[in-house]
């Protein structure tokens, strides 16, 4: 929504417009107090006092403290000379800006000032003195109470704005942290799976290069296919991130924003695992799924199969994915010996794969379990609800 289309009460005014508004208030105050000044006070001094008190209010935002000092002095002089009586309304208007802009000072008891000011104003509204001298003293005390109320109100607004700014910064920091976690999880899932297959096949190629060159050539083809697929996924992920930060992307050089992988990518995942010595049996029973749910299910299965390749190959692996429109159930079990085959890799259960899978499931408030099976092998299960809409 453009600024001109916003309602007037919620439109944020520029500093120039706010100063213009203060100037209008200053002129209006000077006119009203000049017209209301009467009685025994001479007309010319009363008019001069009204102008000297009101016009400085136009500059209360650029110079809040000097303006308050001038207005407070002229208001006090007018009260003492009985020229213009405004109960320090103009000074309170200037003091509000001082309270709103000046740094916090712990030695000023703002809460106490606000409470006492409210009591004095309430007491002055209930009863007031009758004689002229008492009326002047009461006007001075009431004016101080108005000043205290203005100071407390300005400080309260300042604290509320500071709290809102802190909450906004915390929310932004939390959003950045969540986004970093999401990116790290996606990068781990893409890189770990591909590099595991590449490492396995590279090891095979090294061992059979002289004795069985055909098998070494097949391993190199697998490495080529896997690396190309990994690069495509990395390009997609980085393209999505870059598209959010580049407002006007050239259509010719725009990144590939293909859909995120889903359950329809599981057969290709099983084929790549078979190239690394893991036979995957797929049992997928799921209809149309939201993109986020399908991506999470794909990444969970991908990481589980990657762990089988890293720690149990050669082995057989059974993958079951079932969704009934409200809950997603994923079970991945293998019959491998659980022996680590990648040199320098982490032992089972010590890497980031299980943590990433658990985080994905916990985002939906589901349950996750992973551990050795009683009859050998390793099993991963995930169960979480989702909204089909």
The verdict on whether omega for the bond into residue 314 sits within 30 degrees of 0, i.e. cis, is yes
Residue bearing tokens 């000046």: 102
Cα gap 388→333, rounded to integer Å: 27
CB 91 within 8 A of CB 143: yes
pLDDT of 241: 57
Listing DSSP states for 70-105 in one string gives HHHHHHHHHHHTTS---TTHHHHHHHHHHHHHSPP-
Assigned token pair, 259: 């859909």
Q: What is the pLDDT along the chain (389 residues), one digit of tens a residue?
A: 444 444 444 456 777 888 888 888 888 888 887 777 655 556 777 788 888 888 888 888 888 899 989 888 888 888 777 777 677 888 888 888 888 887 776 657 666 766 676 666 666 555 555 555 566 666 677 777 888 888 888 888 888 888 888 888 888 778 767 766 766 666 666 666 677 677 777 777 777 777 777 777 777 877 777 777 666 666 666 665 555 444 444 433 344 444 567 888 899 889 888 877 889 999 999 888 888 888 889 889 988 988 888 888 788 999 999 998 889 999 999 987 754 444 444 444 445 678 878 888 888 888 999 988 888 889 999 999 988 76
- Helix, strand or coil, per DSSP, at residue 371: strand
User: Which residues touch 142 (CB under 8 Å, ≥6 apart)?
Assistant: 87, 120, 121, 124
DSSP letter (8 states) at residue 339: -
Cα gap 83→382, rounded to integer Å: 82
Cα gap 203→116, rounded to integer Å: 82
What strand order describes the sheet that includes 315-323? 278-285, 315-323, 327-334, 378-385, 367-372
pLDDT of 321: 94
pLDDT of 347: 47
Assigned token pair, 317: 């692996």
Entry field: residues in the chain: 389
pLDDT of 368: 92
Assigned token pair, 237: 């992920």
Cα gap 266→214, rounded to integer Å: 28
> For helices 132-208 and 110-126, what crossing angle results, to 10°?
140
Which domains, ranges and CATH numbers included, belong to the chain? Answer: 16-171 (no CATH), 268-389 (3.30.565.10)
pLDDT of 346: 46
Residues β-bridged to residue 380? 332, 370
pLDDT of 216: 78
Residue ranges of alpha helices (H) inside 209-290 are 213-245, 266-275
pLDDT of 125: 53
Residue bearing tokens 């010590």: 350
């Amino acid at each position: 929504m453009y600024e001109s289309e916003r309602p007037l009460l919620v439109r944020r005014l520029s500093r120039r417009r706010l100063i213009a508004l203060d100037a209008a208030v200053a002129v209006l105050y000077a006119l009203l107090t000049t017209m209301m000044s009467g009685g025994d006070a001479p007309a010319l001094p009363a008019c001069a006092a009204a102008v000297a008190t009101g016009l400085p209010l136009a500059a209360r935002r650029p110079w809040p403290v000097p303006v308050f000092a001038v207005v407070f002095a002229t208001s006090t002089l007018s009260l003492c000379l009985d020229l213009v009586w405004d109960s320090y309304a103009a000074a309170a208007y200037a003091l509000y800006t001082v309270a709103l802009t000046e740094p916090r000072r712990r030695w000023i008891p703002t809460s106490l000032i606000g409470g006492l000011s409210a009591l004095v104003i309430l007491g002055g509204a209930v009863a007031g003195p009758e004689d002229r001298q008492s009326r002047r003293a009461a006007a001075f005390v009431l004016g101080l109470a108005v000043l205290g109320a203005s100071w407390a109100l300005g400080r309260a607004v300042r604290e509320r704005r500071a709290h809102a700014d802190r909450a906004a910064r915390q929310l932004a920091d939390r959003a950045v942290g969540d986004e970093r976690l999401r990116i790290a999880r996606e990068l781990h899932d893409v890189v770990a799976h591909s590099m595991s297959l590449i490492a396995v096949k590279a090891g095979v190629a090294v061992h059979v290069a002289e004795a069985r060159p055909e098998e070494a050539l097949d391993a190199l083809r697998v490495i080529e296919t896997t690396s190309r697929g990994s690069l495509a996924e990395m390009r997609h992920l980085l393209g999505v991130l870059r598209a959010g930060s580049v407002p006007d992307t050239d259509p010719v050089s725009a990144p590939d924003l293909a859909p995120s992988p889903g359950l329809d990518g599981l057969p290709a995942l099983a084929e790549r695992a078979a190239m690394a010595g893991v036979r995957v049996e797929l049992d997928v029973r799921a209809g149309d799924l939201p993109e986020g749910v399908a991506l999470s299910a794909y990444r969970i299965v991908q990481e589980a199969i990657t762990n089988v390749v890293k720690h149990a190959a050669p082995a057989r692996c059974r993958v079951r994915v079932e969704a009934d429109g409200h809950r997603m159930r994923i079970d991945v079990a293998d019959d491998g010996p659980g022996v680590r085959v990648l040199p320098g890799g982490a032992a089972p259960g010590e890497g980031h794969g299980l943590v990433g899978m658990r985080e994905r499931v916990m985002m939906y408030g589901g349950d996750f379990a992973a551990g050795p099976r009683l009859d050998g092998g390793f099993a991963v299960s995930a169960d979480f609800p989702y909204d089909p809409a």
